[in-house]
Structure 1
């Protein structure tokens, strides 16, 4: 996995990169208060849910989306919507040919497709999409409080219908096709279909939290931070450009390792994947990490998502990418020519640090080994700033919104994936969900991870005045104006949406990974 800072506690960090006094005290206060508040208000003598109504009676300060998701979480429409605009818009990709291990036939799904059409025709049109959780294959579930937990490695096929709705049309819960691994369909009993979707949502929990959130924003941001502090002197223009975007990252990651990833942390004590499974998944995810997957325009093209409708993450994200690229190009081109880039040994050392400690010298990652042109440098710095600001906002800020209603985002399943159809009931589904104690622990963690601190700085507003030259200051002011214009566009669009997408609104994007 990417290398981490050799410091065990925040007190071992230099003051320049530690939390402000305000943020540190706020964080500690929120951690204690949220946990106590949830436990005291929701005392439950048996620790077992007796009905869905008990879940609805959870007493706490729920987010604005809570009532909407509680009402819609079982619908196929909302299930599909989350792959585009939920807390993890990164798994879905266009499917032009079914994987060999997912033998969906036209007869299975024809009722979900338009008349006179077929699965083959819809794939040719670009209307069929796939989410494949193969990285979870073979990971054995955790044991929590003496009780075996379970997870699946599903394949989920989706159809973008003529009305612009993305709907699930087939789910296989294990990677190997066999008689005891049925393909679940919307035409099955409502309880069979719901249970299959719950296992997909649990797989989403693991991929989202560990791969797309922890690895691809937090841990990469830590590598970017360390490389910047080690390789670039404070007078270097790239240091001045990047310093606001590494603010607080080391401390939040140290705290996350203690609270979430340790033997006593959330993943060990409340999640099906457990500590051993978490390490396995993250090693697999690191091995599959590519430069192009971190560059949004390339990533959208690779996943074939240029034309799928109502993909607000893509729409807002590409606009943000272009605004960042324009800003970075303006600053970098002021200081560098292609020859300057090639001859800047500190810059090349900075890149080497990132390649070695973040991508582990993986030749298949596509990460550049050296910079030769201003254009290459601008793209790389754009990727870095986008990753630690916009991308982190996209996968972090909606965690509580989509996870506060626990059945929509279960951290564990207490029953194994079904091997036959016709066995699921309302009672068996309730029994498979996380119990009361671990539901409250997860709610507390999600609440903490989604809470802005009082010293939050919106994207593009920097507390440190590191540049003094007229050109970079002018570029910075134009950057803020461009972000403000995008903010207006997003808010105008959101007025017409039933569920507004606001995670990439610049005012909700932090400069760095600080939560």
Structure 2
């Protein structure tokens, strides 16, 4: 008796207080809603009372509704929350969620339980509708619910993952958590909801051509144009802003940010961020001149994808045995046969117009670097040519040259490596491709689809960090444009050249390692850790997708899946079939491989090429972002003085170091690879696969940590506990 009386009184109160009450019916799969306002006449009031009395004679069934609010700043709402349950056999009334907690029911981190009563069972739940009604006393606020769990009178439990900001009074529909491909979504309400969600997503996530010849991005004029779900959290935004402002403030206080002077000596560079040291940065300052450390960075620095085994010298690199093996103990031909010679070729930089900084022309070379693996398994540089075309004024520098000739050659290589790394290896191959993967997912795949549930955690913050990169780093007034050698006119050119050289195999780590012939190079921790992560991701992805796709035909028939890859091919790889990027999926194996690459690129690969930027670039002489003098055209003309004149000016140096420091800082709301605070999957098998995935990553992390204890320079960038789930910085 009390249950149906409570239900009736609640309905009556809503009517008498002027709060809208909606009833709905289904016509052709589309819900039509009629809104009844407060009765103003006694006749209407009498009708309302008669209706309440009629309802009181009906035996009600109860649905237990548990609502969880995300535990982050600003997730709280103090306004009224309404819910409607929609099932295969009917739907509940729109019900105001009231509990003994009162206004605290929907504060951050709250888990609150309510009862929704219906005259009869509404069958298997298909979706729920949530809406806010703003209370003038509290003003408008936003609510970020995590999930809703509903227990039916029959004893079934339904999970509804939300993870969406509700900022208005509109009705928002959310599907039950069981993943469904489009062919399995047979209920007319489900189909309609799916179509409406994708229609809205196409409006929210629109493609934009930032520059011809590079991947397209999301159209947005301001971060507030981004849907709330993909923006930084309050915590992330606050910390990012604070880190940027304090870094620049420190530099200005020291009088460095505006100084266009040259560095008077090496020790003066220590004044920059002297309080922001890391263990590896300390090591770099002590060892940056050493050949072994120079070579080591090709394996475990921030650009580990350039080095490749050399089986034949390029025609434009006329190195001889006498040059590199003056004592005759080795020959190039024999060492190449044994697989002991390696090449790093910066040909993408050839002819690139270098920037003008502080009114001065800068210099950027396109070097070729030859490395030799010695009998004691050390990798050592043996020859450097700073320009691509051999000539008398383009000498091949050797370790036997004078100290500053050889050091200057290495400095030009390290500057070239910075520019190649930032625009190709880092920006293009992780940030821009991750954005394409994300926008295509959000445009084409609804939240109930298994692919969305699998990939959406790997899109976190990517769209906003990329917006900020375009606005603050590579725009006309961006710090990279103004202060890097490849900024200015050369920036887009280098991105276009890099885009044209991308292949699918180069994005798939096992194939890339094999193609470069570096499978057995000793002390290559990027390779060892990366292949370990790749294999773990691959097994996880294979398990999840094989659960939902039992045959190749199911993959081929999934129109949403095919639109996702088609969009990526068009907007990310510019419809270039020569890249090897699939234009459609024909088999489960093809799908598994591609999704593995997407997750790896957005997590482990980005960590490998981003996290160590300040470790290796915080000491400018090791990574100059630009150089002010051309390279020597003859040997014997260099000195410490010419080296200092070649280094970037003070303001150029500190802008580069401040940017690398900012982009290396981990946010306090960092989410590590394999951690899923948002519970999108609800089925038993995918949830078990997630636990197995996490367990394998924990084992790999323990192995890496144990190895690092014995290393002079630990390699931590692909330790799963240090790898962020997405491109978020």
Alignment match, 1:222 = 435
Alignment match, 2:639 = 425
Alignment match, 2:374 = 161
- 1:72-87 equivalences under 5 Å are 72-87=287-302
Aligned residues of 1:458 and 1:511 also touching (Cα < 8 A) = yes
Alignment match, 2:593 = 379
Highest Rg: 1 or 2? 2
Tell whether 2:314 aligns with 1:99: yes
Alignment match, 1:310 = 523
Aligned residues of 1:413 and 1:434 also touching (Cα < 8 A) = yes
Alignment match, 1:475 = 689
User: Whole-Å Cα distance in 2 between the matches of residues 285 and 48 of structure 1?
Assistant: 32
User: Whole-Å Cα distance in 2 between the matches of residues 33 and 356 of structure 1?
Assistant: 41
Instruction: Give the secondary-structure state (helix, strand or coil) at the position aligned to 2:542.
Output: helix
User: Whole-Å Cα distance in 2 between the matches of residues 459 and 482 of structure 1?
Assistant: 11
Deviations 1:478-506 (A, max 9, x none): 00000000000000000110000000000
**How many equivalent pairs are there?**
513
Name the structure, 1 or 2, with higher relative contact order (CA <8 Å, separation 6+): 1
Deviations 1:184-234 (A, max 9, x none): 100111100001101100110011000010000000001000100011011
Structure 1 position 462, deviation (Å): 1.3
- 1:102-501 equivalences under 5 Å are 102-111=317-326, 116-336=329-549, 337-501=551-715
User: Whole-Å Cα distance in 1 between the matches of residues 703 and 251 of structure 2?
Assistant: 37
User: Whole-Å Cα distance in 2 between the matches of residues 141 and 181 of structure 1?
Assistant: 18
Aligned residues of 1:63 and 1:404 also touching (Cα < 8 A) = no
**What TM-score do you get using the length of structure 1 for normalisation?**
0.98
- Runs of 5+ unmatched residues, structure 2: 1-213
Aligned residues of 1:213 and 1:396 also touching (Cα < 8 A) = yes
The structure 1 segments of at least 4 consecutive aligned residues displaced by more than 4 Å after TM superposition are 42-46
Structure 1 position 46, deviation (Å): 6.9
User: Whole-Å Cα distance in 1 between the matches of residues 408 and 699 of structure 2?
Assistant: 43
Alignment match, 2:208 = none
Deviations 1:133-155 (A, max 9, x none): 00000012111111111110000
Deviations 1:331-353 (A, max 9, x none): 00000021110110110110000
User: Whole-Å Cα distance in 2 between the matches of residues 271 and 218 of structure 1?
Assistant: 19
Aligned residues of 1:144 and 1:269 also touching (Cα < 8 A) = yes
User: Whole-Å Cα distance in 2 between the matches of residues 389 and 119 of structure 1?
Assistant: 39
Instruction: Give the secondary-structure state (helix, strand or coil) at the position aligned to 2:488.
Output: helix
Instruction: Give the secondary-structure state (helix, strand or coil) at the position aligned to 2:382.
Output: strand
Q: Which moved more, 1:136-145 or 1:325-334?
A: 136-145
Aligned residues of 1:156 and 1:168 also touching (Cα < 8 A) = yes
User: Whole-Å Cα distance in 2 between the matches of residues 39 and 470 of structure 1?
Assistant: 56
Alignment match, 2:239 = 26
Aligned residues of 2:503 and 2:581 also touching (Cα < 8 A) = yes
User: Whole-Å Cα distance in 2 between the matches of residues 284 and 304 of structure 1?
Assistant: 23
More helix by share: 1
Structure 1 position 157, deviation (Å): 0.4
Structure 1 position 42, deviation (Å): 5.7
Structure 1 position 444, deviation (Å): 1.1
